[in-house]
Amino acid sequence: MTAGKAQPRFVAAVAASLALALALSACIDPGGLIRTTREEFRSHYGPSAVRYAIGDGELAAEFHGDPFRQPGIPAEEAMKPLRTPGWFSSLPLTTKPGTRPEYAANNGHRVVFVMNPARLPTNGDTACRAPGSIPLAGAGPEWRIYAVFCTGDRFASSVVTDAAQPETPADPVYAAAMGQALRSLLPMRNPDRDDFCPGRLPMRGC
């Protein structure tokens, strides 16, 4: 009899937990359709490269193509909601070159975002060397983010993330999709490498 009374409470608790999980997932992925469909890492990717890139307290980034349905939004406005992953201190992204000498040629460590590429290049180095040569499809109902972490003119990592096209930087799907792309692009360690840095815990990366 006691077990019979407890059952409705158990069901109610499970239902409440499921409702909370759904609500949280909606916050993380407002459209429910954010998908990272491709990840590629070269052997020289590692947290040390990212830490070097954020040595000025921010991460340099470039936009190619328009991420929004509403045209004419400056890249600086598009950068405002974006941050590096939490394991890299949640630092802001900036379109301004860093102070290190290599940035004079716009050739430093940075992230390149190609929005709605008509086709993906066969080599991620293209996004670092000549992102303007990648043909764009333009805005539509579907939005494709091709994000590339460049170390000079070579790519270290790249990801493709798909979502619904946002209207403006204030659209929740924009920050959610770009955040997912950045977390996939800049992991704490290279998923394609099994070696670890001597003297460090594996979870801390190299």
Q: What is the pLDDT of residues 148-185, one digit of tens each?
A: 999 999 999 999 999 999 999 999 999 999 999 999 99
Mean pLDDT confidence for 126-132: 93
Cα separation values, 155 from 43, 66, 109, 178, Å: 10, 22, 9, 19
Amino acid at 16: A
Q: Tokens representing 95?
A: 């379109």
Residue 194: pLDDT band with limits 50, 70, 90: low
Mean pLDDT of the chain: 80
Mean pLDDT confidence for 18-32: 44
Given this model, what pLDDT does residue 101 score? Answer: 60
Q: Tokens representing 185?
A: 């692009």
Half-sphere exposure of 104 (CA within 13 A, CB side): 3
Residue 6: pLDDT band with limits 50, 70, 90: very low
Which of 27-41, 69-83, 135-149, 153-167 is the least confident region?
27-41
Sign of CA dihedral 39, 42, 48, 53: negative
Q: Tokens representing 86?
A: 């939490």
Given this model, what pLDDT does residue 32 score? Answer: 57
Does the pLDDT value for residue 28 go beyond 50? no
Given this model, what pLDDT does residue 141 score? Answer: 83
Does the pLDDT value for residue 193 go beyond 90? no
Does the pLDDT value for residue 89 go beyond 50? yes
Mean pLDDT confidence for 120-129: 94
Give the other-Cβ count within 10 Å of 49's Cβ: 18
> Tokens 């949280």 label which residue?
24
- Exposure string over 73-83, b if 16+ CB within 10 A, otherwise e: bebeebbebbb
Compute the distance between CA of residue 28 and CA of residue 168 in angstroms, rounded to an integer.
Answer: 18
Compute the distance between CA of residue 143 and CA of residue 155 in angstroms, rounded to an integer.
Answer: 22
Mean pLDDT confidence for 181-201: 76
Give the other-Cβ count within 10 Å of 156's Cβ: 25
Given this model, what pLDDT does residue 95 score? Answer: 84
Given this model, what pLDDT does residue 24 score? Answer: 39
Mean pLDDT confidence for 13-27: 42
Task: Choose among 117, 14, 108: nearest CA to 54.
Answer: 108
